[in-house]
Amino acid sequence: MLTSQIKEIEVSNQNVGLSSGAILFFVTGTLLSYVAIWAPWKVVLRPESHETSAAIGNGLLGTWLLPFEVASVVLLATLIGAIVVARKEIKED
């Protein structure tokens, strides 16, 4: 794997940017809180919901069954290929 060559690394300057990062964190948090509280949010009535999940299920198990199954087999093959490529081979010396 790509990280197999990493050994213990000693970092000599661990606190560089800690104070500026903390300041940026608090300024950003304060600004986002201010915007969330004082923004003029529009209240809109929710439209009637349609049964989209039933239509999607009927489509996947009816009209689009074969393309759905082909896509699932292709995704499974790529997942297995990625595992084969990424696994670490042990070489005997």
CA distance 30 to 32: 6
Q: What is the pTM of this model?
A: 0.40
Structure letter (DSSP) for residue 42 = P
Dist CA 87 CA 79 (whole Å)? 12
Each residue's pLDDT tens digit in the chain (93 positions)?
566 666 677 767 777 778 888 999 999 999 999 999 998 888 888 877 778 888 888 888 898 999 999 999 999 999 999 998 888 777 776
- Between CA 86 and CA 93, with CA 91 as vertex, the angle to 5 degrees is 165
Determine phi and psi for 88, rounding to 5 degrees: -85, 130
What is the per-residue pLDDT for 28?
97
Rounded to whole angstroms, the Cα distance separating 88 from 25 reads 40
